[in-house]
Amino acid sequence: MNIGDLVRYAGWKDTDTNPLALIIDVVSQDSSYHNRVRVIWLGEDVPVQASAISTTGNRISSWVHPKNFILINSCDNICLHE
């Protein structure tokens, strides 16, 4: 997962209704054990997950393992440094 990717929270069984988020930061991408992402939750209402995995209970999460998210759309083909 990379910055800008659209992801869906995968913590519940019904993944079609789980909230969407954007990856805003990634660390230790080369290590499956230490890899972590930060997300910003989408939508008008802040989902329950925001308060569960955020240090301040807002839209931006704390560092979370990417296994908690399902990649919906990737930004791999977008060049940010032109």
What separation, in Å, do the N-terminal and C-terminal C-alpha atoms of the chain show?
Answer: 21
| Paired residues of 17 in beta bridges | none
Report domain extents, the chain.
Answer: 6-73
Dist CA 32 CA 16 (whole Å)? 26
- In this prediction the pTM is 0.79
Token pair listed for 74: 């990737």
Dist CA 60 CA 62 (whole Å)? 7
Tens of pLDDT, residue by residue, the chain (82 residues): 899 999 998 876 665 678 889 999 999 988 888 999 999 998 888 788 887 888 776 889 999 999 999 898 766 655 555 4
Could you tell me where the DSSP H helices lie in the chain? 48-52
Compute how many other C-beta atoms are within 10 angstroms of the C-beta atom of residue 72. Answer: 11
